[in-house]
Amino acid sequence: MSADFNDLSRLDGKLAVVTGGGSGIGEATARVFAAAGAKVVVAGRRIEPIKRVADAIGGYAIACDVADQAQVRSMFAEALAITGRVDILLNNAGGPGPIAPVAEVDMADWINCLNINLVGAMYCLQEAARIMSAQRSGSIINMSSLMGIEGYPMRSAYVASKFALIGITETMARELGSVGVRVNALMPGAVSGENMDRILKRRSEAEGRPVEEIERENYTDVAALKRWVAPEEVGRAALYYASDLSSAITGDKMKVDCGRF
């Protein structure tokens, strides 16, 4: 007799690491994972927000700047010591990067975005791959974006980092499949929250247009459901990849975008 769907969605006894866990999608996913029974390590650069989230869910807060390889190694070592395993990685830490056309973008800002969104993600992936290969199980979820499969004006650094994560996801799925480790990617569309509010403000300043006009034309009116994605909705999609509901799925990418096709 097959397992009950509710059982398959549970993460009881599993240790999950969530980077960028102090707000937005990271916070929402940490809460979803904890509600499903996981022990959750909430990682992020600033201790105050990650401690707030960790305290709320009975998890563990570990300060970590993913762009610093030594900090990433230390964070994973500390996480591994909790249960002797790392079962799930939500590779979520990142930033929006510079908002400017390619001809005018500040290259220092461009490179900094790649160092966080891509190089930082790779530091986390390398540690997770080593740990999960040794234990011969695990689920890695890379946080890409709808901009990981289609270009977007003014966002070249972010687009480049998110396209790269899709390729890395497919590469790692092939590398780690033989040891039972699954690697998938989520591609959220426009997700409501403070990060999106900042992006809208910066776009408004760069384009000389009202925030409300940019919001309608580029984010809500173009979605089939005519609304923003909520962070919790991305968290529930992450739970699907983290749990045995998706036990035969690897190298996959899933849009969570309210129908922006």
| Residue 239, CB-side half-sphere exposure with 13 Å CA sphere | 25
CB 113 within 8 A of CB 97: yes
Q: Crossing angle for the helix pair 107-114 and 156-176, nearest 10 degrees? A: 20
Report in angstroms the alpha-carbon separations of 69 from 83, 95, 112, 137, 249.
22, 17, 15, 23, 29
Going 145 to 191 to 26 to 90, the CA torsion angle's sign is: negative
Residue 219's Cβ-count burial label (10 Å; 0-12, 13-18, 19+) is buried
CB 20 within 8 A of CB 94: yes
Q: Crossing angle for the helix pair 24-35 and 231-242, nearest 10 degrees? A: 50
Distance CA 149, CA 188 (A): 11
Catalytic residue ranges: 144, 158, 162
Residues 6+ away with beta carbon under 8 Å from 106: 98, 100
